[in-house]
Structure 1
Amino acid sequence: MKPIFTIFSFFLCVSFLSAQNTIKLHIFYTNDLRGGIGWQKATFMNPDFPPELGGGASTAAIINKIRRQARLNGEEVLLLDGGDFIFGPTPLGEDSKGRAIVEYMNHVGYDAAVPGINDFNLGREDLTALGRQAHFPLLAANVIDSASLKTAEPFTPYTIIEKNGLRIGLFGIVSKAAEQNEDPQRIRGLRFLSEVQAAQKTVEQLKEQNADIIIALAHLGLPYDSEEGYDVLREQEAQNIFKDSYVNTMELARSVAGIDLIVSGHIPRGYQEPWEDPVNHTICVQNYAGGGNLGLITLNIDKSTKTVTGYDLPSVDGSLLLLSLDEFWPEESTANLIRSLEEQYEPGFDEMIGETVQSLNRNLQGESRLSNLMCDAMLESTGADFAFNNYVSMRADIPIGPITPRDLSSVFPFGNEIVVIKMEGKLLYDLMEGSIAGYNNGFAIGGGRIISNKGLPDGKRILSFKIGGKPLDPHQTYRVATSAYLAKGNYGLTKLAFLPDDVFEYTGIKVRKAVEEFVRKHSPLNIAVEGRWPK
């Protein structure tokens, strides 16, 4: 952040300038926390000398002070979350089955949250247990029980909070993409309804119950680029294309009138400046992922009409506060809580498990030492003949020297499960051939070698394909390891979605865990770039 007067001086200034006929509603928001409540290093700012961020304890320090000031000034505060708060690069959320994260959220006083797509990976039973543990409602207006056709436990479609004479309606919307879970058993008995239709119905219900202000927690995602996203929206309207399912937050804001504010999640792209729909005037906010920032927007609400007349932001940079230890020292009781949770669920997370004699860097366009490590680990853990995964599944590099589980969690934050698929060589050939069409650059591979020429016509780009040193046999059945995400037919692998269930072997092994075991076994690592798929 640029040098600014502190968030606390901002608050005092806004309060002083507030007109007597205006209610100030300070809304803090997070999204895509992904278990990121502990201290962390801001490698995205400076990979060599990253500044330290205080995480959830710094969040608590800010919120507690603002709450105290708000009580003195007759103003109000909400703390909301836009989903995907459990699973992430640390085991804190996953290994505690979300309990550690909800304990933290209870401690700092969240008012409401919406479940995110990845939160459903916990499974319905454990999500229900979290709902009972939470001191705040989990809102999901479009998630119903397929048998009763009522809102599925532990969710509630909406809630109304009364503050300072205002009736504030809050509701949650989850992307229908959640129904594409890599393990269908996790969402068994759940139906995900149209986001637009559910939102329209819920807004009407809230208005019938005299809600003055309506806020949606929408795990749908604002586009990475607001201008490009809005251009797409306008082009859809020009062609009379009006979606009611699989929409993003921008599309929801345009399709459903009557929402004052949307707290968005799902896309890890923070918006310093809120995006406001020019038709319905819905204000949309979204934070970065991982818990390194805290979002804040202050709504100015006219006391007589109880309508939003504008908003204030806490910084000259915008609405997102970087939780730097230099600026926001952690609140002690929250820091102690997080430390105790980490000791319970993250033993050995920072212990050395191996080392590498070279830096292991990513290459989003082709083979790298890191991609070879990943694919070799997938092969070794499953005994498969061939392995492939996408390049973007790796989210960080590993520097030369010691390797810890925390390092690997930064590289593989989502812990995708390895699935082994029995398929004939012809299908494997077609999948790899299709992966280099257009602007695509194929996959990271292990157990074989491919030579291709993208300049050739469709179906003829692969010139040579060998597995285990032998030419690919189109009629032979191979055991092919990949991620559960790709096994469902994503990333252009549509043919996999039509295979019978009995060809899929769900190993229960996470990619990250396979790599960890490989590092332990083969350290010190001396991974080479071998020309597995020269581009």
Structure 2
Amino acid sequence: MRRFFYIAALLLLTVSVHAAPTWSLVVCHTNDVHGGVDSSEATFMNPEHPPQLGGAASAQRLINQIKQYALEKRSGFLLFDTGDIFQGTLVGTKTKGEAVMRAMNEMQYDAWVLGNHEFDLGREVPEMLMRMADFPTLSANVFDTSGGTMKPFAQPYVIKNYGPVKVGIIGITTAGTVRAAFEENIRNLYFGPEVTALAAYRDTLRQKGVDIIIAACHLGLPYDRWEAWDNLEKHEKEGWKSDYARDAFELARRVPGIDLLFAGDIHVGYQEPWVDPVTHTPCFQGYGRGTNLLCVEFEFDLQTKKLMGWKPFAEDGTLITLLSDRFPRDRKIAETIDTVKSRVEVGWDEKIGEAIIPITRTGENESLMGNVICDAMQWKLKGDIAITNKGGVRTDLPAGTITPRDVFNVLPFDNTLGALTVTGQFLKELFEDKVAYGGSGLYVSGMKIVIDRSKPRGERVVTFEVGGKPYLPDANYRLVTTDYLLEGNSGMDKLTPLRSQAAVESGTFMRDAVIEYLNEHSPIKPKLDGRWTTIGNTP
């Protein structure tokens, strides 16, 4: 294997200490795989001529090489995942994670941390996967409250012994799962504060003589590290409002004494880690969907057990893209995945439509992909307007032939549609609440809205039209949306009391509505039409 090593951070000890005996730990880490264990095309590298990715089978080839390196050097080795392992591809979702867990068992993972999307199909699914796993499932802050008692839902931590060194891994699951999951899917589960749990088990592991503590978190490093850094400094000056952490930046700051932190939940890779300047905890995170493997060697002073530095396994940083021509697929892992695929993916590659241009999610306010989806929702249930959240739209559609598999990759969650009658005033207040909640807005259809963020709360909707005409506060409008938003998620609390009204028409899958729409309207060439516009800055 080509090995390109270079020091990736300032060494934490003086030069004189480097003469002391050292011990190294080699870590391979995955996060947000979302069922991406099969071969796929790296369209993010070249949309027109994408190279081939080998998925878990290529990851196994690379892992075997790095394991051999660690063995020859007599270093410790760890392979673990920080959550969201299955929901997002056909082979992952249709097997309820079974195919992914089979691969992880073959790959000999050391641990897996529960992510919020593990609960998308109900708590029974992670419970089944935990029974399947040949390794510990970790989460220190998720508790089962069935029967009036509170007991850990998963194992809080695992301790690995490497001769003279003991390494402890603490699992943390985002408490935001409560806001992201359907209520029924997390019944009798309590997601506790991340800060409290990590600090408590840090102390527990120190009492047990653990030398090196790793926080394995399904809590993400942000897209914009410098904006997040500014927010962190601001919130620290104002005083922490609770023991819940907004992101992994905040967790690393608020819980000192953590040697390494590995994050997940946000699908942005950090080629170079973020190092908190106060606690000095280095934080790592890879890209999602099984496209890469994070590989780092850490060096510790054997006497003090202090971190001296780290070295990535590639010239350009900690993340290695799993290109199948560089890492040929491991036959055993490939056969494990292909056997399950042949059972669950019949009929998913038939043509159902055609796109004249690529249909992407690009755009701060609206996007071609969001417009098509909401147009399909409005068309299917004959609504005046349709709305959905942006987070459920996971990828783009290519130009050319469109298959059910393509639509599934865009909409991997089994969301259903519902329609209800509301007044114009209700809609105006709903959008005001959404803007106040934060985020980047909604995907919409059948309407035009202009948001002025410089206005006071409750006055930010400055233009609102339905069907090309100014909305009427007392008029009734047919609103089409998803079961996810009807649960009150993504700032849509006003919809929750009305979900029983929409239940009459539930059962139409959002994904099926898009497939039918494409079948009826292809070839399609969507455009941006200014249906959601934002002006001004938040005061």
What aligned pairs does 1:118-133 form with structure 2 within 5 A after superposition?
Answer: 118-133=117-132
Q: Tell me the secondary structure at the aligned position of residue 176 of structure 1.
A: coil
What's the CA shift for 1:78? 0.6
Q: Match of 1:341, as an amino acid?
A: V
The equivalent of 1:502 in structure 2 is: 500
Compared with structure 1, are the counterparts of its residues 386 and 199 closer, same or farther at alpha carbon in structure 2 (3 Å cutoff)? same
Q: Mark the CA change 1:44 to 1:356 in structure 2 (over 3 Å): closer, same or farther.
A: closer
Give distance in 1, aligned partners of 2:454 and 2:261.
Answer: 47
CA shift in 2, pair 1:271/1:372, >3 Å: closer
Instruction: Please state how far the C-alpha of 1:397 moved relative to its aligned partner.
Output: 3.8
Question: What is the CA distance between 1:132 and its match in structure 2?
Answer: 0.4
Deviation per CA, 1:201-236, whole angstroms, max 9, x where unpaired?
111111121111111111111121223322222222
CA distance in 1, matches of 2:528, 2:254: 51
Tell me which residue corresponds to 1:275: 274
Partner deviation per Cα, 1:399-441 (whole Å, 9 max, x = no partner): 4421112322343355544343443332023335676899998
CA distance in 2, matches of 1:434, 1:226: 27
Q: Contact conserved, 2:53 with 2:324, CA < 8 A, in 1?
A: yes
Given that 2:24 and 2:76 are in contact with CA atoms closer than 8 Å, whether structure 1 keeps it comes out as: yes
1:49 corresponds to 2:49:
yes
Task: Give the letter aligned to residue 144 of structure 2.
Answer: D
Change (3 A) 1:226 1:331: same
| In structure 2, C-alpha distance between the alignment counterparts of 1:386 and 1:79, rounded to whole Å | 47
Question: Does structure 2 conserve the Cα–Cα contact (< 8 Å) formed by 1:8 and 1:66?
Answer: no
- The answer as to whether partners of 2:447 and 2:464 remain within 8 angstroms in 1 is no
Q: Which amino acid aligns with 1:62?
A: L
The match for 1:94 is: 93
Find the counterpart in structure 1 of residue 34 from structure 2: 34
Equivalent position of 2:60 in the other structure? 60
CA distance in 1, matches of 2:173, 2:521: 43
- Report the CA distance shift for 1:534/1:202 in structure 2 as closer, same or farther (over 3 A): closer
Is contact 2:431–2:461 with CA below 8 Å preserved after alignment? Answer: no
Partner of 1:326: 325
Cα distance in 2, alignment partners of residues 386 and 495 from structure 1: 17
3-state DSSP class of the match of 1:35?
coil
Tell me, yes or no, if the aligned pair for 1:82 and 1:263 is still in contact at 8 Å.
yes
Contact 2:118/2:125, CA 8 A, preserved across alignment: no
Question: Are 2:145 and 2:190, in contact at CA under 8 Å, matched by a contact in 1?
Answer: yes
Q: Which residue of 2 aligns with 1:74?
A: 74
- Provide the C-alpha distance between the structure 1 equivalents of 2:440 and 2:212, rounded to a whole number of angstroms: 48
Question: Would you say 1:214 and 2:209 are equivalent positions?
Answer: no
Q: Is the 8 A contact 1:31 1:84 kept in 2?
A: yes
In the other structure, the counterpart of 1:482 is 481
Partner of 1:184 in structure 2?
Answer: 183
For structure 1, which segment, 233-242 or 110-119, has the greater mean C-alpha deviation from structure 2 after superposition? 233-242
**300-309 vs 111-120, which deviates more?**
300-309
Cα deviation per residue 1:83-102 (whole Å; 9 max; x = unaligned)? 111111x1122111111111
**1:525 aligned partner, one-letter code:** P
1:346 Cα offset (Å): 2.2
**CA distance in 1 between partners of 2:346 and 2:472 (Å):** 46
Amino acid at match of 1:122: L
Q: Residues 311 and 426 of structure 1: is their aligned pair in 2 closer, same or farther, counting only changes over 3 Å?
A: same
Partners in 1 of 2:261 and 2:460 — Cα distance?
46
Q: Secondary structure at the match of 1:122?
A: coil
Q: TM-score if structure 1 supplies the norm length?
A: 0.87
Indicate the RMSD between aligned Cα atoms, in angstroms: 3.2
SS in 1 for 2:304: coil
Hey, what's the Cα distance between the residues in 2 that align with 1:534 and 1:111? 46
Instruction: Tell me what 1:412 maps to.
Output: 411
Query: How many residues align structurally?
Result: 517
Task: Kindly provide the amino acid, as one letter, of the partner of residue 265 in structure 2.
Answer: H
Gaps of 5+ in 2: 7-17, 534-539
Distance across 2 between alignment mates of 1:509 and 1:246: 36
Q: Counterpart amino acid of 1:533? A: R
Per the alignment, residue 3 of structure 1 pairs with: none
For structure 1, the 5+ residue unaligned runs are 1-5, 12-17
Q: What letter corresponds to residue 28 of structure 2 in structure 1?
A: F
1:426 aligns to 2:425 (yes or no): yes
Q: CA deviation at 1:335?
A: 1.7
Partner of 1:15: none
Q: What SS does the aligned partner of 2:120 have?
A: helix
SS in 2 for 1:461: strand
One of 522, 525, 529 as aligned partner of 2:523: 525
Q: Supply the distance in 2 between the matched residues of 1:351 and 1:95 (Cα, whole angstroms).
A: 18
In the alignment, does 2:466 pair up with 1:465? Answer: yes
Relative to structure 1, the CA distance from residue 459 to residue 247 in structure 2 (aligned partners, 3 Å threshold; closer, same or farther) is closer
Matched-pair contact (CA < 8 Å) for 2:415–2:484: yes
Between 1:199-208 and 1:337-346, the stretch displaced more is: 337-346
Conservation of the 8 A alpha-carbon contact between 1:378 and 1:387? yes
Rate the CA distance shift 1:386–1:453 in 2: closer, same or farther, 3 A. closer
Counterpart in the other structure of 1:14: none
The letter of the residue matching 1:30 is: T
CA distance in 2, matches of 1:368, 1:242: 35
Instruction: For residue 376 of structure 1, report the CA deviation from its aligned partner.
Output: 3.1
Matched position secondary structure for 2:363: coil
* SS of corresponding position for 1:325: coil
Report how far residue 54 of structure 1 moved.
1.4
**Residue pair 2:372, 2:526 contacting (<8 A) in 1 also:** no
Alpha-carbon distance in 2 for matches of 1:323, 1:69: 18
CA contact (8 A) 2:385 2:447 kept: no
Return the offset for 1:287. Answer: 0.5
Q: 1:48 to 1:404 in 2, by over 3 A?
A: same
Using a 3 Å threshold, how does the CA distance of structure 1 residues 184 and 493 change in structure 2: closer, same or farther? Answer: closer
TM-aligned CA deviation for residue 345 of structure 1? 2.4
Q: Tell me which amino acid in the other structure corresponds to 1:226.
A: R
CA 1:335/1:180 → structure 2, altered by over 3 Å: closer, same or farther?
A: same
The CA distance in 1 between the partners of 2:120 and 2:438, in whole Å, is 31
| More displaced 10-residue stretch of structure 1: 280-289 or 455-464 | 455-464
SS at match of 1:312: strand
Q: CA deviation at 1:81?
A: 0.6
Q: Confirm whether residue 23 of structure 1 aligns to residue 23 of structure 2.
A: yes
CA distance in 1, matches of 2:412, 2:418: 18
Tell me if the contact between 1:80 and 1:110 (Cα under 8 Å) persists in the aligned partners.
yes
**Aligned residues: percent identity?**
36
